[in-house]
Amino acid sequence: MGNNKVAVLSISAIVLVAVVATVAVTVSNRRSQSADPQLSTSVKNVQDFCRPTDYKETCENTLSSVAGPDADPKELLNLAFNITVKHINDAIDHSTVLSEAAKDPSTSEALENCRELLDYAIDDLRRSVDRLGDFSVANLDKFLDDLKIWLSATITYQETCVDGFEGTTTNAGESMRKMLNSSSELTSNILAIVNNFDDTLSSLNLPINRKLLAEGYPSYVTPGKRRLLATSTADLKPNVVVAQDGSGDVKTIGEAISRVPNKGADIFIIHIKEGEYKEKVHVNKSATNVMLIGDGPTKTKITGSLNYVDGTRTFDTATVAVVGDGFVAKDLWIENSAGAEKHQAVALRVQSDMSVFYNCRIDGYQDTLYVHTHRQFYRDCTISGTIDFIFGDSASIFQNCLILARKPLDNQQNIVTAQGRKMRQQASAIILHNCTISADPAYYDFRTKLPTFLGRPWKMYSRTFILQSQIDDLIHPDGWLPWFGDFGLNTCFYTEVDNRGPGADKSKRVTWKGVKNIDYAHAKKFSVQQFLHGGKWLPRTGVPFTAELLPEGSLK
């Protein structure tokens, strides 16, 4: 206990030093350029606090009206969080008013989705605030990583709310966008300040003890549990067994999930025996640390067919939706069987922070896998689809996965990824590491007529990396496809490093400003260890992972 107190005090002192140093530098720079004695101390403090942000006017206007004359950076940060939460709550109230007046079913559904999404956004803001006042739960690295991920998710949830009105016939979507404009900018500003704080810590070269707590497992995982999680799937003792033939505890996955303790700290293991389960599975936000284990990715199948054409909003089409943090899936087959003609039809939607999918098969056509938010890791999985079949705005790494393009409609072409990073401050990307991108057998003969592209910029700062992967000859020489016009072409971040195979030839790739050539040292920053800090949370699952990139050129 004594050592923990010392650790907390050490971190707090470092945080204080870094904040003071950040403010001192910005104040010094500002005064050297244009000292203005007419400005009050409060205004100066707010201006200096808002300096790293992309939306300075929004930052200064909102804080100046509420900040006291002696407000320090910590007070201003808390004010920024509280104001953002208020704006989002106002948007929730606004959606309720719009819903009461809505007569269009699709608009009503979109507004209902908005309320759910904005509730998630407020949750992430609140836990960010909680983390600001509690440094004892993790080391400083994790503290900063968590804030970046949660704030990035808050931005994404607001954007997803607005996206849900696509195709509706009312002006509700535009009304919600206006309501959320300020809160999105405010969230981006907080994230910019956190990012700037991280940069300041790095530049100060402070003697931070980065092993204040044991790394590898969260503090709640006991030594006995660690040994259990490191054993094979066959040796895991489930809390609930699902079997359609009555040989288990329950017959449906939904019933098993209903038995998960609220916000449980221990892993809750659900074994789903062989069979085809026609269920819409939802692991809600209170169902934390759930592990679903099947009998194999060709034996235990969860299937559905909800789709956009038949009237379901994309967000709600998922056969399996996972929200609760710490989720693990092993040896499962998850499918949306709607088919290419039904357009958007999600098989799996994931919002679970620090979630893992191992030896899973995820099948669909358009929008197969929605990697919506937070930190996600996929290992030895097979993912199939046609248009944007891996899409979303999480921090996701796919390692040793088979990515299969399927035959689209005759007027379509395939796109593997559509990454949804809206703002440059967000800590999100889709990363394929040592994967194989290939053609499904039924598509193989059509791969020239109906080509496949690596990705397209769904949002302005879309970010996708293809690293040390096998790329077969289905990929069009251009590599990357525009979304529409020149949208995002200069601001996206697309790169291919140390790949192999006939589709890895970059000589004819598009020459957008956003298509980058980076060196191996830069690419290493997007490994499991450096981008996801996977060594701190992946071991608890027993799932194998390669922490760093492989030696350059070793796979060719």
Residue 202 confidence (pLDDT)? 60
> pLDDT category, 16, cuts 50, 70, 90?
very low
- Residue 6, pLDDT > 50, answer no
Average pLDDT of the segment spanning 492-498: 98
CATH architecture label of 41-203 = Up-down Bundle (1.20)
Least confident of 63-72, 369-378, 439-448: 63-72
In this predicted structure, what is the pLDDT of residue 143? 82
Min mean pLDDT across 146-150, 479-483, 538-542 is at 538-542
Length of the chain as a residue count: 556
Q: How far is CA 190 from the centre of its chain?
A: 18
CA–CA dist 538, 354 (Å, integer): 8
- Residue 158 and residue 122 in contact, taking contact as beta carbons nearer than 8 Å: no
CA–CA separation, 196 vs 235, rounded Å?
Answer: 46
Cα 18 from Cα 488, distance rounded (Å): 34
Short-list 35, 32, 36, 71, CA closest to 50: 71
Comparing 5-14, 359-368, 455-464, which segment has the lowest mean pLDDT? 5-14
464 beta partners: 430, 494
Q: How far is CA 47 from CA 75, 80, 132, 262, 532, in A?
A: 14, 13, 22, 43, 33
Residues 494, 144: Cα–Cα separation, whole Å:
25
Q: Are strands 463-467 and 493-497 parallel, antiparallel or unpaired?
A: parallel
Q: What is the pLDDT of residue 232?
A: 60
Does the pLDDT at position 134 exceed 90?
A: no
d(CA 525, CA 205): 19
Span 274-541: which CATH code?
2.160.20.10
Task: Identify the pLDDT of residue 553.
Answer: 87
**Domain spans of the chain?**
41-203, 274-541
pLDDT in tens, 30-47: 444 444 544 567 788 898
DSSP character for 35? -
Task: Report H helices in 207-302.
Answer: 223-229, 253-257
Q: What percent of the chain has pLDDT over 70?
A: 85
pLDDT confidence band for 233 (50 / 70 / 90): low
Assess whether pLDDT exceeds 80 at residue 240: yes
User: Which of the residues are catalytic?
Assistant: 388
Separation CA 482–CA 282 (nearest Å) = 34
- Where residue 65 falls among pLDDT bands split at 50, 70, 90? confident
Q: Tens digits of per-residue pLDDT, 178-219? A: 999 999 999 999 999 989 876 665 655 544 444 433 333 343
What pLDDT is recorded for position 133?
72
Q: How far is CA 209 from the centre of its chain?
A: 28
